[in-house]
A and B are shown apart, each in its own frame.
Chain A
């Protein structure tokens, strides 16, 4: 499966026409929708992010009774992120947590650009690597059958590593491929610690300022061959669609997604909603850049 995807992706790379100069704005921001993009912040730029995911629009818990999810907040994240150089950025955030399983999450990450797409330099793709960890400071429960019981402090951590590969085709279309590895130090009895996910995303610019975005993370774990579906039975893959609006210094995104949480170690392993059951929600992210 991974091999096939790699071959397909490389095939696309080789077949397409390549641009001159450094390619800018492959994605309009450091995030695609839930996950990261190849972009990093410019040196000395401090970004303040506000991200929000509401409750289900439809389905059993949605509908007009809670105004299509607006009455509930699935997750909220505030973060400060900073460009140490044009290719290296760090970030620190705090999110409410979805409560399923964690609340009160702190997260930190480092992201480094290795390649920027440039025809003149024979670089067909942009490539960044990304590493993050989350820590929950939620009070441990006494029920030792639950993952939130955290017998050791280390059990509160989860880690993500990602290789983010993207390419801009022409002026309007960008594609991204994000092999992602998530490790959680402590999981439920029917879960596994290590998860590999393959992410894919596109961004189509309708105008310079308005774009449509799609993002999907396909989670690979033993359970895919597990016919009896005993491992991770309620998990779904994260699928999101979004609309993005750019202005000078701002980036505003409206998202429809079946995931609830933020950061890869949340939305990859803990997506329990199914689009087919009308379980998806609205979300948005607003960013504001400051020069420091």
Chain B
């Protein structure tokens, strides 16, 4: 049978349309896990800008995964491989993760309670460190807050509202290293952008999530309320208050302290750096000998007293750039310090 040319054309067209539809459908299935808009996956910053908030000082429109992965190397190891060669270490003494976690540290991101932070560290197998987490640092607006001016003086002034300057201050002074090169700083920023907060990270009610979804229908005052609500569900900055060592007359010396909690702090804080001489020359372990060193010095006015070292840390000086950072009130409470002393006392006397 002879097929008329018009029919042939229709037939080919039919095949073509069918093919394109099929391919389109397939590729759609392959590319996207989601069948609809998932508000949880949206960056907090994007939503805030949509609601009419001003953008962050260091706002970035997106991140480059390659740069972010270089950044992660630099943060974890202080150097990365570039064109087959290792880059120069940022610091001989520290890497970022010696003092900062890369994961979130609280169940609720609006919290900065030291006991909630310790519980979260226990349940999630992360250390309990003197620095704030780098997870979500992109969404913060204030750095080196409150009393850090006492430690770094005017150096903190330019860093308090500018993330890039804060990173540089940390690399050069807190880590006893050097200022980052341009590509390194960029890599840090891309890593931070990659790990910015998403809506799903926040504790928002169903109702609020719905409101975010239909934000264009909200009135101006509803929008600003929503902005406020979103901003109150995570911390734009972490407070940092230095404490003096407790007066000798007021110290509990472990009395009433929770030994198990103290052991947890010892493992998650002290041993993070001192265990197996990982970061420092001073080797600490869970032996009686080590506990006795601390216990016998507990009333001293020296580095060897836990009351002194936790609150003052030590300072980097010429010839000895490695130092121990201090724990602020927010990062270790006096009750937690008492728990730690209780554990040391128990181990020393066992």
Contact = CB atoms under 8 A, between A and B. Distances in A.
B293 A207 contact: yes
A71 interface: no
Nearest to A23: B285
A226 interface: no
A289 B280 CA distance: 11
Chain B interface mostly helix, strand, loop or mixed? Answer: loop
Contacts of A172: 289
A24 B92 contact: no
Given A22-B276, A171-B287, A249-B281, A208 B92 contact: no
Given A42-B277, A171-B287, 11 more contacts: A22-B276, A24-B283, A44-B92, A171-B289, A207-B292, A207-B296, A208-B290, A208-B293, A248-B281, A248-B282, A291-B92
B336 interface: no
Contacts of A292: 92
5 contacts: A24-B276, A25-B283, A209-B293, A291-B92, A291-B93
A291 B283 contact: no
A212 B276 CA distance: 22
B288 interface: yes
Chain A interface mostly helix, strand, loop or mixed? Answer: loop
A208 B289 contact: yes
A205 interface: yes
B276 A207 contact: no
A248 B280 contact: yes
Interface in B259-291: 276-277, 280-283, 285, 287-290
B219 interface: no
B283 A171 contact: no
B281 A289 contact: yes
Interface of B: 92-93, 276-277, 280-283, 285, 287-290, 292-293, 296, 320, 322
Contacts of B293: 207-209
Interface in A197-238: 205, 207-209
Contacts of B320: 249
Contacts of B281: 248-249, 289
Interface residues of A, number: 16
A207 B292 CA distance: 8
Given A249-B320, A291-B92, A292-B92, A205 B289 contact: yes
Nearest to B287: A171
Interface string A135-175: 00000000000000000000000000000000000011000
A278 to B, nearest CB: 35
Nearest to B93: A291
Nearest to B293: A208
Contacts of A249: 281, 320
Given A22-B276, A207-B296, A248-B281, A291 B322 contact: yes
A24 B277 contact: yes
A207 B282 contact: no
Given A42-B277, A291-B92, A24 B289 contact: no
Nearest to B176: A291
A63 B93 CA distance: 47
Contacts of A248: 280-282
Contacts of B287: 171
Nearest to A172: B289
Q: Which 6 A-B pairs rank lowest in CB-CB distance, beginning with the nearest?
A: A208-B293, A171-B287, A248-B282, A291-B92, A171-B289, A249-B281
Contacts of A289: 281
A25 B288 CA distance: 14
A249 to B, nearest CB: 5
B257 to A, nearest CB: 22
A207 B348 CA distance: 12
A3 B109 CA distance: 66
Contact of A208 (B280, B292, B322): B292
Contacts of B283: 24-25
A291 B89 CA distance: 12
Contacts of A24: 276-277, 283, 285
A42 B93 CA distance: 13
Contacts of B292: 207-208
Candidate in B281, B285, B288, B322 with the most chain A CB atoms within 10 angstroms? B281
Nearest to B291: A208
Given A24-B283, A249-B320, A289-B281, A207 B289 contact: yes
A269 to B, nearest CB: 35
Contacts of B93: 291
B47 to A, nearest CB: 45
A171 B296 CA distance: 17
A289 B277 CA distance: 13
Interface in A173-213: 205, 207-209
Contacts of B289: 171-172, 205, 207-208
A207 B295 CA distance: 12
Contacts of A25: 283
Interface string A253-292: 0000000000000000000000000000000000001011
A188 B205 CA distance: 92
Interface string A23-52: 011000000000000000010100000000
Contacts of B288: 171
A167 to B, nearest CB: 16
Contacts of A208: 289-290, 292-293
Nearest to A250: B281
B74 to A, nearest CB: 18
A136 B164 CA distance: 56
Nearest to A206: B289
A187 to B, nearest CB: 41
A47 to B, nearest CB: 11
Candidate in A25, A248, A292 with the most chain B CB atoms within 10 angstroms? A248
A24 B280 CA distance: 13
Contacts of B276: 22, 24
